[in-house]
Amino acid sequence: MAQTILVVDDEAQIVKVLRGYLEQAGFRVVTASDGPTALAQAKREKPDLVLLDLSLPGLDGLDVARRLRATSNVSIIMVTARVEESDRLVGLELGADDYVVKPFSPREVVARVRAVLRRTEAPSVPQIIRAADITIDLTRHTVARSDDSIELTPTEFDLLVTLAREPGRVFTRMQLLDAAQGEAFEGYERTVDAHIKNLRAKLERDPRQPEYVVTVFGVGYKFADG
């Protein structure tokens, strides 16, 4: 079955263009033009990914993302005309997996959709990573700390997998960004900090004193090697 993309934007022309490119790429597309309708569509259609504009009538995109994240780990790509780094970081801290700024190339949006969805696909061969008392099942795309299940977004999952594969190795922000997004976008290193903050909030017993994902000041992050 075709994967379903929910496109949320109040500009009809943008919706039309994105629908055309996504359907041509083989996706099933459903749409919404305001926040409340987006939430209703997400509940009804259970999309694989949401392309979400920030400036929406009824309920803005950040509130929509916040409510989606309260009940779901659906992949989210923010699409917006806002260019301030603070807006981008707020979106990422709410759990967005990527961020596209208008005006954009529809082909780039399709490429980013594919990249995010690829990260949610299970490997064909069962694979388990164990580091400390963390167990990562790459086949089922699940994470557990001891016996406690931990729900992560695709980007958080990819960052944890990258770090936990090599405990003790220090990764720069650019290396982690490359691992999470498929290619490094120079100047977006702070987005990694936002994702790491979210990851720690879910993974660590005390995010203020992390025991798993450790900061190496002036360099980046590592998974503690005990």
CA–CA separation, 111 vs 119, rounded Å?
13
Dump pLDDT digits (tens) for 163-210.
Answer: 998 899 999 988 888 776 654 454 566 778 888 999 999 999 999 999
Task: Compute CA distances 207 → 45, 74, 85, 157, 175, whole Å.
Answer: 34, 24, 24, 17, 22
Antiparallel, parallel or unpaired: β 220-223 and 171-172: antiparallel
- Helices vs strands, H then E, count in the chain: 8, 12
Better-scored residue on pLDDT, 24 or 127: 24
* pLDDT value of position 183: 47
The tokens describing 11, both together, are 């500009």
Q: Please, is 84 exposed, middle or buried when counting C-beta atoms within 10 Å of its C-beta (0-12, 13-18, 19+)? A: exposed
Question: Considering the chain, what is the average pLDDT of its residues?
Answer: 87
CA–CA separation, 159 vs 143, rounded Å?
12
Closest to 26 measured CA to CA, from 48, 52, 53: 48
Q: Per-residue b/e over 130-168, b at no fewer than 16 CB within 10 Å?
A: ebeebbbeeeebebebeeeebebbbbbbbbbbbbbeebe
* pLDDT value of position 123: 55
Q: In the sheet that 171-172 helps form, which strands lie side by side, from edge to edge? A: 171-172, 220-223, 213-216
> Which residues on adjacent β-strands are paired with residue 149?
144
Q: Parse the chain into domains and list their residue ranges.
A: 4-118, 128-223
What kind and span of H or E run contains 46? Answer: none
* pLDDT value of position 106: 92
* pLDDT value of position 20: 95
Dump pLDDT digits (tens) for 52-80.
Answer: 998 899 898 889 999 998 888 899 998 88
Q: How far is CA 63 from the centre of its chain?
A: 16
Domain 4-118, CATH number (from 3.40.50.2300, 3.20.10.10, 3.10.20.740, 2.102.10.10): 3.40.50.2300
Q: Is the pTM of this model over 0.85?
A: no
Does the domain at 128-223 match CATH 1.10.10.10? Answer given as: yes
The tokens describing 56, both together, are 């929406």
* pLDDT value of position 125: 54
Dump pLDDT digits (tens) for 100-156.
Answer: 888 889 999 999 999 888 877 755 555 889 988 999 998 788 999 988 999 998 888
Antiparallel, parallel or unpaired: β 171-172 and 98-101: unpaired
CA–CA separation, 181 vs 159, rounded Å?
10
